[in-house]
Amino acid sequence: MKYHRKTLTFVIVLKFDLIFALGVLETLSFSFSLCLFFLFSSVDTNKTISCFSTFSNLISIDKSKMVHYKLTYFDARGLAETARQLFVLADVEFEDNRLTVEEFQRLKPTLPSGQVPILSVDGFEISQSAAIWRYLARKFGLSGNTPEEEATADSVVDHFKDFLVSFKHYGAGLFFGKSQDELDRARKEIVEPAVQVYFSVLKKYLEKSGTGYLVGSKLTFADIAVAENLTTLKNTDFFKPEEEKTLASFHQKVLETPKLKEYLEKRKFSTL
């Protein structure tokens, strides 16, 4: 059977697009390059057709063998939202399993630490929010460009987690319906003092970076985690952009990330 070279070129384009869609470019790059060599050299046309036939078989991947991610959390942003946004940025599909409080209570005894979020990767479960973020960031190339940047991103997230110990007195109280008196007391006595320390630390990282990001010259999971937290603090009136210009600029920069911006515009509002 004879094939015109234009037809073969069209096949290349289709297959190349499909490789990107399936996320297997690195695995198949050698095979693809070999086919291009056959196509544009004087090698027999039948060998070229045979090569592309083999190449086509290689990319006919059974989708059932692709990784299945399942993220379990409440129907809120909270500690799962950074993971959701990492999936969005990486264009990776995942099951977003959102629980009611009643469903969580039934599920709680079966969870590794009795807490959510939980990320299941083909049945392998990862608990603790920061561990989930770091795992996904490293898989998706959002953990930093160097070991030093990775360590700095980890440090920023650890600072955020330290602050969260204080904020939970307010946030958990709000989520689970504590009285207004209890919320006001938590705000004044615990969270507001912690906010000042937390903001001071973040501004030092931004000043040192000088790029508008907390770490290095491109977006990392640390930026996503902190920006999400600033959204929550804005919603609860702990973060006032007009009073914190540096943090407001950073916050807006992250929110304007193209893929995130589209996602955020469609996202259901939740205070926390």
| Residues contacting residue 7 through CB under 8 Å, at least 6 positions apart | none
Mean pLDDT of 212-219: 97
Percent of the chain with pLDDT over 70: 76
More confident residue, 143 or 37: 143
Has residue 43 got a pLDDT over 80? no
Mean pLDDT of 37-47: 51
CB neighbour class for 240 (10 Å; exposed up to 12, middle 13-18, buried from 19): exposed
H or E stretch covering 125? strand 124-127
Q: What are the structure tokens assigned to 154, written together?
A: 């980890």
Q: Which fold has domain 147-266?
A: Glutathione S-transferase Yfyf (Class Pi); Chain A, domain 2 (1.20.1050)
Has residue 110 got a pLDDT over 80? yes
Omega cis (within 30) before 112 = no
pLDDT value of residue 22: 42
* Other CB atoms within 10 A of residue 227 CB: 22
Separation of first and last alpha carbons in the chain: 63
Percent of the chain with pLDDT over 90: 74
What's the pLDDT tens digit per position in 4-26? 444 444 334 334 443 344 444 44
Has residue 50 got a pLDDT over 70? no
pLDDT value of residue 234: 98
pLDDT range class, residue 60, cuts 50, 70, 90: very low
**Any idea which residue has 């705000």 for tokens?**
187
Has residue 267 got a pLDDT over 90? yes
Least reliable range by pLDDT among 45-49, 98-102, 266-270: 45-49
Domain boundaries 69-140, corresponding CATH code: 3.40.30.10
Parallel, antiparallel or unpaired: strands 95-99 and 69-74: parallel
More confident residue, 142 or 66: 142
Do 160 and 225 meet the contact criterion of CB atoms below 8 Å apart? Answer: yes
Q: How far is 187 from 190, CA to CA, in rounded Å? A: 6
pLDDT value of residue 65: 59
Rg, C-alpha atoms of the chain: 24
Strand partners, 125: 120
Per-domain boundaries in the chain: 5-61, 69-140, 147-266
Q: How many residues does the structure list for the chain?
A: 272
* Other CB atoms within 10 A of residue 154 CB: 20
